[in-house]
Structure 1
Amino acid sequence: MTELRNIEVELDRFRARTIAAAAFVLLCFGVLVFRWFVLQVVRHDDLQAQAEANRIGVVPIVPNRGLIVDRNGVVMATNYPAYTLEITPSKVSDLEATIDEIAKVIEVTPRDRKRFARLAAEGKSFESVPIRTKLTDEEVARFVAQRFRFPGVEIKARLFRNYPHGELASHLVGYIGRINQEEKQKIIDDWSDEDQANYRGTEYIGKLGLEQSYESELHGTTGFEQIETSAGGRAVRQLASKPATPGNTLQLSIDIKLQAMVEDLYGDRRGALVAIDPRNGEVLAFVSKPTFDPNLFVDGIDADNWKDLNESIDKPLLNRAIRGTYAPGSTYKPYMALAALTLGKRTPQWGMQDPGHFTFGNHTFRDDKPEGHGFVDMYRSIVISCDVYYFMLANDLGVDSIAGFMQPFGFGQATGIDIEGELRGVLPSTEWKRKAYKRAEQQRWYAGETISLGIGQGYNSFTITQLANALATLSTGGQRHTPHLVRDIVDVVSGARRPVAPEPLTPLALKPEFVDVIRNAMVGVNREGTGAKAFAGAGYLSGGKTGTAQVVGIKANEKYSASKLAEHLRDNALFIAFAPADHPTIAVAMVLENAGWGADSAAPIARRVLDYWIKGIYPTDKDIAAVQGGNAGGPPLEPGVPVAQATNIRLGTNHAPSADDSVGTPLEGADNLAGAASAVAAFEAASGASAPTAAERAATAASAASASRGARPPAARGHPRPGARAGAGAGGGGPAPPGGGGGAPPPTGGGG
């Protein structure tokens, strides 16, 4: 029997289903309307920006890096355009095979492959990486003809950093290199958003020297291009652009001819020399030897070159001018004498009979001259460099009085020179020793440790920049300046010059009559004392002081013998000098490591530096060779040539860097390819600096010659000879000082 269906029930069920379906459709439509509202109204601006970002690409334009030039406009760091061949790893299926095929078209060396692998590992797969740099026109033409074979490989124009004089002034100029991961993280963590944006697209940053210290001035301002792209990612048209602003030019106070001359005079020997204009703190020469070629570092130095530099016993990467610390030896004696006058411990006339030694407790400190110098007053103590006078003086003054007087001269203090990495050195005091050592017996200051301080030994340890800066202060009677290497910052667009000389510091309250006593004695050093041989016939009046500082200690009764020591353990030779004597325009401090007696080794170099600056004389090749070989203890062997006529052959090798030197900075368009040349031209148009003219030099020389007001004391009785050294004093290599041992460095005698 057929079941009868309830029509009403079926109809109700149908209605319910229809309503549910309609509600579902309405709900879906409502969701669509809501989503449309969100996209078209609520998020309109945001989504429009995203769409524009997909359609419009912003390409940074990296600025041309600023130039570095000397005081006369000689270029020391520059840029030049060239082409590179680059691979984008994400666009290449088989990198090795692609590189092998490229090598059939243009040369690809094993070093090129290693560099590519390293840079590819450091970067991102969508960033192009150079496989070859500095392509020749012929190589560019060969590749362009077969470009269709190499998807993901392209030729790009880049601007390369170059140091045209190679090793000359390398520690001063420094170098740039690729930004590494640590530096990238520092930029993210420490830099402002504005500064980070300014480095978009930048691959290189200053790593050392002025390239590092003045990075913000040299980098410039990054520009941009807005490019409309197709769906396939190809550029369709340029929508907007803002050109990059080149970095500023640094004009240094350095005279590159003087710098080159000094580096030549040093030859292969180790050491440092700093020359300062006492009137304003300008650094005229800033030498650290040995040097290195900064071009090697621009794109990352290879393993072999790095090993050679890093493992060399000569430490060519060490900036000895600000990071080498040395015992000043007898160059410290003029300051000790000035301290004695200022603190009332000595008068100029006070004298003593020098027996050749000074006994303190059961220790004997010996002079270079075992039989002694006879009667010695303050003038003669400086002229002949009498150690015993200063052994006694140091004992009378005490360590803390010495430190208190020396600190305002900048000893043991950072000078503030405008290059990073400066060390403070050590100006010893009882407080310093308490902080420097942990054990109580080491923290104690022993009276015997004070004795060697008087002749610039013991714990005394200063940089050559500090010695030059202190001499500049002394030679001007207390006027202080912060030494600086950069003279002006030049805007290459407008040509405007911005001087960067720091404000003069508060002068030291030195009594002029005391300063005159010391300066006259230093003039006596170069006229009749330990510097007389080197400065014979100079034609101008200068002041100086020789110094010889021990590197290792010797026993109390042992005689120093250089031949019995390894070369790197022999005495350091130092010299300080200023000229003209009455109104100094140059103050020089220098050290020749392990070169022995300062009068024989260092003074001849200082003489030629003063000849250059005061008389405008450049030494001959024969004279330079003699100084290099240590065979020119006296004045120049033959007359030099006027600086204006000296050739530029001493300014290093003017070379185009090898293909391995750097990867370079990307360029955008032909206008940027001419950037380096236009920057040079703009600078030359703006530059107005020059070295002292012949007339200025003649005037200063005449002024110096007229300043010979000095010389009342008797002539020195010969030069102290190298050989015997002071006996052991405070700790170190000899017996312990009275009262116990201290952890002092080897106590040493001075000797001029």
Structure 2
Amino acid sequence: MTELRNSELDASRFRLRVLALALVVLLAFGLLVSRLWVLQIERHEDLADQAESNRTAVVPIVPNRGQILDRNGVVLATNYSAYTLEITPSKAGVLEDTIEALGEIIDIHARDKRRFKRLMEESRSFDSLPIRTRLTDAEVARFAAQRWRFPGVDIKARLFRTYPQGEVGSHAIGYIGRINQKEKERIEDAEDAANYRGTEYIGKLGVEQSYEVQLHGTTGVELLETSAGGRAVRKLSSRAATPGDSIMLSLDIKLQKMVEDLYGERRGALVAIDPRNGEILALVSKPTFDPNLFVDGIDQENWQALNESINKPLLNRALRGTYPPGSTYKPFMALAALQLGKRAASTVINDPGYYNFGGRMFRSHEGGLGGVDMVRAIQFSSNTYFYSLGVEMGVDAIHDFMAPLGFGQITGIDLGGELRGVLPSTEWKRKTYKRPELRRWYPGETVSLGIGQGYNNFTMLQLALAEATLVNGGTRYRPHLAKAVRDIVSGAVAPLEQPPGVDLGYAAKNIDVVRKGLVAVNEAGTGRRVFAGAPYTSGGKTGTAQAVSLGQNVKYNARALEEHKRDHSLFAAFAPVEDPQIVVALIVENAGFGAASAAPIARRVFDYWLAGLYPSEEDIAATRLGQSGPPIGKQRPVAEIELPTAASPKPW
């Protein structure tokens, strides 16, 4: 049976289907054109950049870190190149297996593994971390032959920081170390974050930290064409990094080393300063440490040895060690009395060997000194004279006069971490203590302030600054270590500008009285033996400060006390008297009488600076033991003394 079809209906249906298909095709082409419009017109620049970034890589070029030099051009911090074996944890698979396999090719010690583990804790998994540094050429060749076995492991050529003088001046110079996570976050939030791309080490202490910006330099960039696998094919363009500038210090590193040798194994601090401008000539803290230990990341054994030592070698005693100034404080009390009109220089006070106040006896010279005026009180260090002066002035008057000199204040030196110490006042005590009976200031507490004891606690930097201000006529300069910056590109040396000195307004006649007393100390007082035969004039004040309180009416006996409970030995001095060029303030911890241990070191500093004379080996040995007076043996011209350089770091 033949089916009859409606041809018109079939044709209509066919046309409808063709139209629908045409609309679908048209819509598809419309969508395609729309997408092409977005890709080719609207997002052209963005996609072009992405395509270019897939083809290219921007690699930061870390600049060479600037050098640190002393005032005579001696290199204190510089760089050397070496190969390092590095692992990117996120690409290296099972780390333990990778490190064990690497150990079959290259020596990897337990300390390397411990350091690597610590770096992993401080870093991100995609950071490249060193497992071994300072590879030999043979080790580089052995690894290169088997590199295919170790994904995520590579050898990089890096510049490493080195400190040629080793331990000498380490607290002042400082050191660099790997950037930790907290520092990374701080850098990322800073305005110069882009300049630290690729940088892994920054200054952690001392000048390295304070002058990080100048020493770091400007990071460069390299534009590389890369393959689909991410390997560099060719260099497209580059902008060279600009090395950091060199920082020239006011330190004399040969003088610094001499002082550190004179201390030997004893603890203490010394600051030598130019009273004419505030330049620091030596900044000593003993014991010291080797900053080279920190460059690659210090190992656990060395860290424990430094951090747990009872002698605290990491403590910068010149800036952070606070001590009672003892009798070195008396000249400033005398100046305060004159300036404030509390006591005339000619006023005679009877010193019977003690001072009674409120029914309590305060000790002075055994047998007493009899009648003393201000100059003789400084010369022979009369406690009775200054006990009574402290009471007459009162704690707040003492505080207000001493603060501008720098006592109990931040001096503003260009090093971080400086402590303020304690310059007591009634307000200070109210803020410091919580119990009502302790917040009150008692009159008897003022007595000991007059001789530099009681609550008084200052740094050697503060004492040196005050001494410099006194002997230069009353102008306080900001103490500083950095003297100039040398541009690495042009070679030009630009002095670092310092704020102008502040005139404290002392009357010249009052300063002359105090200086006369200081000169008398070295000519006919406690410093006369040490400074006998010196080819220059000088003034100074010895001091002996209690390390611990012995209680009332307990007689001091050094032999009966443990070493760390014995009195400290202090000395503050200047020379020459006619035109002071150098001031020294120092302490030898638990060494007793100031004239026996501290003053001999000051004498040798003055001999070095003013007469160009270096102590004999025999004299250095005797001074270390606290058994020297004037120099013994044949002094040597400073120019003939060779400054030994610490050995450069070698491969393991």
- TM-score, normalised with respect to structure 1: 0.84
Could you say what secondary structure the match of 2:361 adopts? strand
Q: 1:611 to 1:49 in 2, by over 3 A?
A: same
CA contact (8 A) 2:123 2:181 kept: no
Query: What does residue range 386-425 of structure 1 map to in structure 2 within 5 Å?
Result: 386-425=382-421
Q: Which amino acid aligns with 2:165?
A: H
Query: Structure 1 residues 605-614 or 152-161, which shifts more?
Result: 152-161
2:440 to 435, 438, 444: 444
Output one character per residue of 1:343-379: Cα deviation in whole Å (capped at 9) or x when no partner. 1121121102211111111211111x23211111111
Q: Which amino acid aligns with 1:463?
A: T
Asked if 1:539 corresponds to 2:535, the answer is: yes
Using CA pairs under 8 Å that are at least 6 residues apart, name the structure with larger relative contact order, 1 or 2: 1
What residue in structure 1 maps to residue 243 of structure 2?
246
Separation in 2, partners of 1:220, 1:32: 51
Q: 1:84 to 1:314 in 2, by over 3 A?
A: same
Query: What does residue range 323-722 of structure 1 map to in structure 2 within 5 Å?
Result: 323-367=320-364, 369-632=365-628, 634-649=629-644, 654-657=646-649, 659=651
CA contact (8 A) 2:487 2:493 kept: yes
Q: Which amino acid aligns with 2:216?
A: H
CA contact (8 A) 1:56 1:229 kept: yes
CA contact (8 A) 1:484 1:501 kept: no
What residue in structure 2 maps to residue 734 of structure 1?
none
Identical aligned residues as a percent:
63
Separation in 1, partners of 2:546, 2:616: 32
Q: Which amino acid aligns with 1:235?
A: A
Q: Which amino acid aligns with 2:603?
A: R
Q: Which amino acid aligns with 1:547?
A: G
Output one character per residue of 1:570-621: Cα deviation in whole Å (capped at 9) or x when no partner. 1111100000011100000001111111111111111111111111110011
What residue in structure 1 maps to residue 71 of structure 2?
71
Could you say what secondary structure the match of 2:331 adopts? helix
Output one character per residue of 1:126-183: Cα deviation in whole Å (capped at 9) or x when no partner. 4433232112223233333444554544332110101112111111111100000011
Query: What does residue range 295-314 of structure 1 map to in structure 2 within 5 Å?
Result: 295-314=292-311
Asked if 1:284 corresponds to 2:276, the answer is: no
CA RMSD of aligned residues (A): 1.9
Unmatched 5+ stretches in structure 2 = none
Q: Which amino acid aligns with 2:76?
A: M
Query: Structure 1 residues 9-18 or 348-357, which shifts more?
Result: 9-18
CA contact (8 A) 2:114 2:300 kept: no
Could you say what secondary structure the match of 2:337 adopts? helix
- Displacement, 1:13? 5.1
Separation in 1, partners of 2:624, 2:206: 26
Separation in 1, partners of 2:467, 2:134: 47
Separation in 2, partners of 1:596, 1:266: 14
Separation in 2, partners of 1:211, 1:323: 18
What residue in structure 1 maps to residue 233 of structure 2?
236
Output one character per residue of 1:657-710: Cα deviation in whole Å (capped at 9) or x when no partner. 2557xxxxxxxxxxxxxxxxxxxxxxxxxxxxxxxxxxxxxxxxxxxxxxxxxx
Output one character per residue of 1:551-578: Cα deviation in whole Å (capped at 9) or x when no partner. 2112222111112222111111110000
- Displacement, 1:438? 2.4
- Displacement, 1:298? 1.4
Q: Which amino acid aligns with 2:280?
A: V
Could you say what secondary structure the match of 1:133 adopts? strand
CA contact (8 A) 2:411 2:462 kept: yes
Separation in 1, partners of 2:125, 2:455: 55
What residue in structure 1 maps to residue 183 of structure 2?
183
Separation in 2, partners of 1:142, 1:386: 75
Q: 1:557 to 1:232 in 2, by over 3 A?
A: closer
Q: Which amino acid aligns with 2:431?
A: K
CA contact (8 A) 1:280 1:504 kept: no
Separation in 2, partners of 1:358, 1:575: 25
Separation in 2, partners of 1:311, 1:108: 27
Could you say what secondary structure the match of 1:493 adopts? coil
Q: Which amino acid aligns with 2:641?
A: A
Separation in 2, partners of 1:400, 1:2: 129
Q: 1:24 to 1:89 in 2, by over 3 A?
A: same
Separation in 2, partners of 1:403, 1:610: 31
What residue in structure 2 maps to residue 62 of structure 1?
62
**Number of corresponding residues:** 652
Separation in 2, partners of 1:500, 1:177: 26
Separation in 2, partners of 1:582, 1:547: 24
CA contact (8 A) 1:548 1:571 kept: yes
Could you say what secondary structure the match of 1:59 adopts? strand
- Displacement, 1:440? 2.5
Separation in 1, partners of 2:99, 2:426: 66
Asked if 1:213 corresponds to 2:210, the answer is: yes
Q: Which amino acid aligns with 2:108?
A: V
Could you say what secondary structure the match of 1:595 adopts? coil
Could you say what secondary structure the match of 1:442 adopts? helix
Query: What does residue range 197-208 of structure 1 map to in structure 2 within 5 Å?
Result: 197-208=194-205
CA contact (8 A) 2:123 2:180 kept: no
Separation in 2, partners of 1:554, 1:117: 49
Q: 1:124 to 1:407 in 2, by over 3 A?
A: closer
Q: Which amino acid aligns with 2:552?
A: A
Unmatched 5+ stretches in structure 1 = 661-752
Could you say what secondary structure the match of 1:648 adopts? coil
Q: Which amino acid aligns with 2:466?
A: A
Output one character per residue of 1:281-319: Cα deviation in whole Å (capped at 9) or x when no partner. 110000011101111111221111111111111111111
- Displacement, 1:102? 3.1
CA contact (8 A) 1:61 1:243 kept: yes
Asked if 1:257 corresponds to 2:257, the answer is: no
Q: 1:148 to 1:2 in 2, by over 3 A?
A: closer
Separation in 2, partners of 1:309, 1:289: 13
CA contact (8 A) 1:61 1:223 kept: yes
Could you say what secondary structure the match of 1:359 adopts? strand
- TM-score, normalised with respect to structure 2: 0.96
Q: Which amino acid aligns with 2:450?
A: G
